[in-house]
Amino acid sequence: MTGVAAPRPGDRVAVVAPSGPVDPAGLDAGVRWLRGLGLDVRLGAHVRDRHGFFAGDDAARAADLRDAWCDPEIAAVLCARGGYGAVRVLDHLDWTELAAARPKLLHGSSDITALHVAFGARLAVPTSFGPMVATLLADPDPVTAAATRTALLGEPSGVSGGRPLVPGRAAGPLTGGNLSLLASMLGTPYAPPPARGRIALLEDVGEEPYRVDRMLTQLLMSGWLDGVAGIALGSWTRCGDPDRLSAVLGERLGGLGAPVVAGLPVGHGAPQHTVRLGAAALLDAGSGTLTPADPGDPSEGGPCR
Please write the tens of the pLDDT for every residue from 12-31.
Answer: 999 999 999 999 999 999 99
Q: What is the DSSP string of 60-119?
A: HHHHHHHHHHH-TTEEEEEE---SS-HHHHGGGS-HHHHHHSPP-EEEE-GGGHHHHHHH
**Tens-place pLDDT, residues 79-133:** 999 999 999 999 999 999 999 999 999 999 999 999 999 999 999 999 999 999 9
What global pTM score does this model have?
Answer: 0.94
Please give the positions annotated as active site: 110, 203, 268
Determine the pLDDT at residue 300: 42
Assess whether pLDDT exceeds 70 at residue 297. Answer: no
pLDDT at 279 over 60: yes
Handedness of CA 223, 226, 229, 233 (dihedral sign): positive
Model confidence at 4, pLDDT cuts 50, 70, 90, reads: confident
Please report the pLDDT score of residue 219 as a whole number. 98
